[in-house]
């Protein structure tokens, strides 16, 4: 099955650079022996959209964990910072009433201790380390709410991981940055007729060749 288009763009963004390899859709869920495990609420898998590993780097920059949020309305930094700095709580279901999904569930691994534990366990199993860069890939930032540093520098989230022996660096990556990176790569190619190595790169290359995108 083909990955989400944003995931394909992210893969291109990484593998076009030296040393990077990626893996998609790595599943994880809380340990059934965790003290806070609730079978009716936790017996479901979440997944890491993309795990990127650079064999040429060490430490926190060696492993990038990418969460793709291709929300067309944009990503509100202030809203999500406030939501993710709160503790995880479950809505109590009421018969006949629709219960809106708890916002923290979009980022379970940053908020809930039991999900964080399983998240770190799978990262360690896949990479041999628990230090990593957490990348939130978004279509765009909402115009009124574009201060990325609010979330990138969240002391509460960073401390949650530090308390579990993990160093984390948070980065918000926009679609504009990704596409600009691909554009620059293709424009600066020494041999422009050599086909790009990724599907996304090849599409962009063809759009340049057809003069649909101008240099």
Indicate if the alpha-carbon torsion angle 84, 50, 73, 146 is positive or negative: positive
In the three-class reduction of DSSP (H, G, I as helix; E, B as strand; rest coil), residue 144 is classed as: coil
What pTM value is reported for the model? Answer: 0.88
Q: Where are the beta strands (DSSP E) in the chain?
A: 20-28, 46-54, 63-69, 132-138, 168-174
Structure tokens at 32: 């059934």
Q: What is the pLDDT of residues 55-69, one digit of tens each?
A: 999 999 999 999 999
Does 205 score more than 50 pLDDT?
A: yes
Q: What confidence category does residue 214 fall into, taking pLDDT thresholds of 50, 70 and 90? A: low
Mean pLDDT of the chain: 87
Look at residue 110 and give its three-state secondary structure.
Answer: helix
């Amino acid at each position: 099955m083909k990955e989400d288009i944003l995931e394909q763009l992210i893969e291109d963004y990484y593998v076009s650079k030296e040393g990077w390899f990626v893996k998609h859709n790595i599943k994880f869920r809380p340990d059934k022996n965790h003290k806070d495990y609730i079978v009716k609420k936790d017996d479901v898998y979440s997944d890491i959209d993309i795990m990127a590993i650079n064999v040429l780097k060490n430490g926190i920059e060696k492993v990038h964990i990418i969460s793709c949020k291709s929300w067309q309305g944009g990503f509100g930094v202030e809203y999500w910072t406030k939501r993710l700095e709160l503790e995880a709580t479950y809505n109590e279901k009421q018969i006949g009433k629709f219960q809106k999904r708890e916002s923290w569930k979009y980022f379970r691994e940053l908020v809930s201790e039991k999900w964080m534990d399983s998240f770190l366990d799978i990262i360690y199993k896949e990479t041999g380390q628990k230090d990593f860069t957490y990348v939130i890939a978004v279509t765009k930032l909402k115009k009124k709410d574009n201060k990325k540093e609010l979330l990138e520098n969240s002391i509460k989230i960073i401390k949650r991981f530090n308390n579990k022996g993990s160093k984390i660096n948070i980065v918000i990556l926009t679609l504009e940055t990704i596409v600009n990176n691909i554009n620059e790569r293709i424009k600066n190619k020494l041999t422009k007729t050599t086909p790009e190595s990724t599907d996304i790169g090849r599409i962009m290359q063809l759009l340049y060749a057809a003069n649909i995108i101008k240099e």
